[in-house]
Amino acid sequence: MSALFEPLTLRSLTIPHRAWMAPMCQYSAAPAGPQAGVPTDWHFAHYAARAAGGTGLILTEATAVSPEGRISIADVGLWNDTQTAAFRRIVDFLTEQGTVPGVQLAHAGRKASTDVPWRGGGPVGPEAHGWQTVGPSPLPFSPDHPAPRELTTQEIAEIVEQFAGAARRALAAGFRVAEIHGAHGYLIGEFLSPHANRRTDAYGGSFTNRSRFALEVVDAVRAVWPDELPLFFRISATDWLESDGWTVDDTVRFAAQLQEHGVDLLDVSSGGTASGVRIPTGPGYQVPFAARVRAETGLPVAAVGLITEAAQAEQIIASGEADAVLLGRELLRNPSWAQHAARELGARITVPDPYLRAA
């Protein structure tokens, strides 16, 4: 039996196996007008191909809870009913293929209002559909980024409610998993990290204060997300800074709090808070972070980062380092990775009827 292709049950939801798709922005939505943030035929084809390829769970790209929460001007969102209806079409198809549909809810904070990568990906202003960014403190992400406007406590409360509103729309669209994006230096991660958060009020300073916004978002989403469905949280386990940053010790401490607040799985990534940081990458380089959280808290975890081979993924699950693996660029290269991995590991997974002749 393959450990990778064993089902995983979280709350009352059973996910058919543990090879999942990580959120990856497609930068393919309209930047403005009535179709702003609305998933397109590109998004449908993109997600549908990975579902037909056997992926067990698909998490959407970072889906903004407000127009100002988008990473780029071409990101999708869930702040209105038009977006909800467009996602419903995608979700229905994924469900028909036996794939569990999940949504990643996000606010990009000081790293928002950028162009698409193939046009450089740099910050853009109102003349190119951009906007004023916000953050916990008026500190720019890099010399190339403008300083964000510091959020007031009232605005923080409004963003918490925006996360709850997006979760309600995600449920209406049929999603079965919600993930809160607290990683990669976006707004929630900015509040967590002392590198980006220099506030002196109840949302800054101590670990407890810097964690406050994240836990308020978790509580607001958990309050509207059904008890029978799981809630995930994505975190950067470390800022990769020698000082003045979020650390793996912080992640373990915070993971225990997340569990108490109703989070069912921690999606463990790293980095993104500080620019110009050298990260020692390599196959599975972030897996030890996930393994430590799982060992010290008992919270289920998903590992991500240069996981490309079936045997590698199998070892991560079989050894107990993680409960699932999230594949990113490898699934861009090979939408049917799960089917190929199952064949290599001697497992059987569902294949769409029109593709049975190739199984």
Catalytic residues: 186
Angle subtended by helix axes 153-173 and 207-224, to nearest 10? 30
CA–CA separation, 127 and 306 (whole Å): 37
Give the Cα separation of 156 and 322 in Å (integer).
Answer: 33
Q: Is residue 207 within a helix (H) or strand (E), and if so which, with residue range?
A: helix 207-224
Q: What distance in Å separates the CA atoms of residue 156 and residue 135, rounded to the nearest whole number?
A: 10
Q: What is the dihedral of CA 301, 283, 288, 192, to 10 degrees?
A: -70
Q: What is the separation of C-alpha 198 from the centre of its chain, rounded to a whole number of angstroms? A: 25
Q: Are 176 and 9 in contact (CB under 8 A)?
A: no
Chain center to CA of 145: 23
Measure the CA–CA gap between 71 and 186, rounded to whole angstroms.
8
Task: Return the ∠ at Cα 172 (arms to 170 and 173), rounded to 5°.
Answer: 65
Which residue carries 């430590």 as its tokens? 292
Let me know: does 231 contact 264? Beta carbons within 8 Å: yes
The token pair that represents 344 in the structure block: 């290599």
Q: Quick one: tokens of 199?
A: 């506030």
**Cβ(123)–Cβ(108) under 8 Å?**
no
* Separation CA 147–CA 143 (nearest Å): 9
Spatial separation of the C-alpha atoms in residues 332 and 213, rounded to whole Å: 33
